[in-house]
Amino acid sequence: MTIGRKFNFSAGPAVLPEPVLEEARDQMLTFRGSGTSVMEISHRSRLFEEVLDAAESGLRDLLCVPKDHAVLFLQGGATMQFTMVPLNFLGEGTTAQYVVTGTWGRKAYEAAELCGTANVLFDAGPEYRTVPTQDELSAPSGSAYVHYTSNETIEGVEFPYDLLMSDLPVVCDASSNILSRPMNIKGHALIYAGAQKNIGPSGVTVVIVSNEMLERVPDGQHRVFDYRLIAENRSMLNTPNTWGIYIISLVCRWLKDQGGVEGIEKLNREKAARIYDAIDRSGGFYRGHASAEARSRMNVTFMLSDEELTERFLSQAEANSLVGLRGHRSLGGVRASIYNAFPIAGVHALASFMDDFRADNG
């Protein structure tokens, strides 16, 4: 790790791979010898088209995206998708089904309610510690779609499986675990993810959507919210986030070098296990938020006995170059976000720090 950089556990925007930052730095003033930065060229230029191709094919290869799914680069964050999905697919007289396993899933449901009829199919609230098994979920046939959040970033709760429905379109908010493990893309009608955790910088939202779904977009849709029109225009209906897409192309190349999604999954398992082990060995000094079967491999959330001890933990961690560990304001406690680019050395450093802190304060 470069001297001066810290172990950054931020939940998002989050750590990016160092080689990606270095390459972006090296290409900053003159991109591939063009005499201009990638931020300073037309999105319709040949040079940028190559960048877009690299980002799209990178994601397609890594995730094995089938040919009948489009890969789109949008703006407005995952939050905009909370509204765009029902705007396009929740027609009058139909109901959308929401599986709510955390704060983000609840927000997605609330946005859908403003667009039409939405139903909570499963609610893990108010504590959000768990996810349903596939057998616990059955939705009425004829529902518009079933929506779930594959990893709840705030609570640190993750589906250990891809939620699939044989007869209904499945929509997934995969913002905080996309690219961390293989995913059955074909089984999903639409997947969306804000880039700022595992894909790249903030300001880009990746959407992977089946052609079948695109055909369902109603005529007369507002142009900027029209998935079909955006797909037809290869995400260039208007000016895309060119810089963000460039960084995504570099992240994809970096991830391929790590053995792709299969390679990084192994490492992600190892990283998460190291921290959960420190929690489980602590005899209750640290208390994990998620129940065992739903523990997130991306966001490890845990509590200490009181606020004063939590503050001491966070400030001593920071003094040890372990930053970004404060839990989300709605939950409190500690959250260690350990996305793909987070180095395993940082996980070892945190686990050792947790042991030492417990020895001193237990």
Q: Kindly list the residues in this chain that would bind ligand PLP in the complex (CB under 6 A).
A: 12, 77-79, 104, 149, 153, 173, 175-176, 194
Candidate list 6, 53, 68, 104, residue with the active-site label: 104
CB of 293: closest distance to ligand PLP in angstroms?
Answer: 19
Comparison of 88 and 149: residue with beta carbon closer to ligand PLP = 149
Residue 175 CB, shortest distance to ligand PLP, in Å, is 4
The residue among 107 and 358 lying less far from ligand PLP, judged by its C-beta, is 107
Which CB, 12 or 201, lies closer to ligand PLP? 12
List the catalytic residue out of 162, 197, 226, 254: 197
Least distance to ligand PLP, CB of residue 302, Å: 18
Residue 173 or 226 with smaller CB distance to ligand PLP: 173
**DSSP structure string for 88-126:** HH--TT-EEEEEE-SHHHHHHHHHHHHHSEEEEEEE-TT
Catalytic site includes residue 266:
no
Instruction: Select which of 162, 173, 254, 271 is catalytic.
Output: 173
According to DSSP, residue 196 is labeled: T
Question: What does the buried/exposed string (b/e) look like for 208-221 if buried means 16 or more CB atoms within 10 Å of the residue's CB?
Answer: bbbeebbebbeeee
Residue nearest to ligand PLP (CB): 77
Give yes or no for a contact between 198 and 59, defined as CB atoms under 8 angstroms apart: no
Kindly compute the dihedral angle of the four CA atoms of residues 139, 140, 143, 149, in this order, to the nearest 10 degrees. -10
CB 138: neighbour CB atoms within 10 A?
12
Helix (H) or strand (E) holding 73: strand 69-74
Residue 141 CB, nearest distance to ligand PLP (Å)? Answer: 28
Could you confirm whether 277 is annotated as catalytic?
no
Clarify whether 197 is annotated catalytic: yes
Nearer to ligand PLP, 176 or 282 (CB): 176
β-pair partners for 192:
173, 207
Residue type, 94: T
Minimum distance between the CB of residue 12 and ligand PLP, rounded to whole angstroms? 5
Give the chain's radius of gyration (CA, Å): 21
- Contact criterion met (CB below 8 Å) for 105 and 99: yes
- Which pair of structure tokens corresponds to residue 99? 């599986």
Cβ–Cβ < 8 Å for 321, 315: no
**Residue numbers annotated as active site:** 104, 173, 197
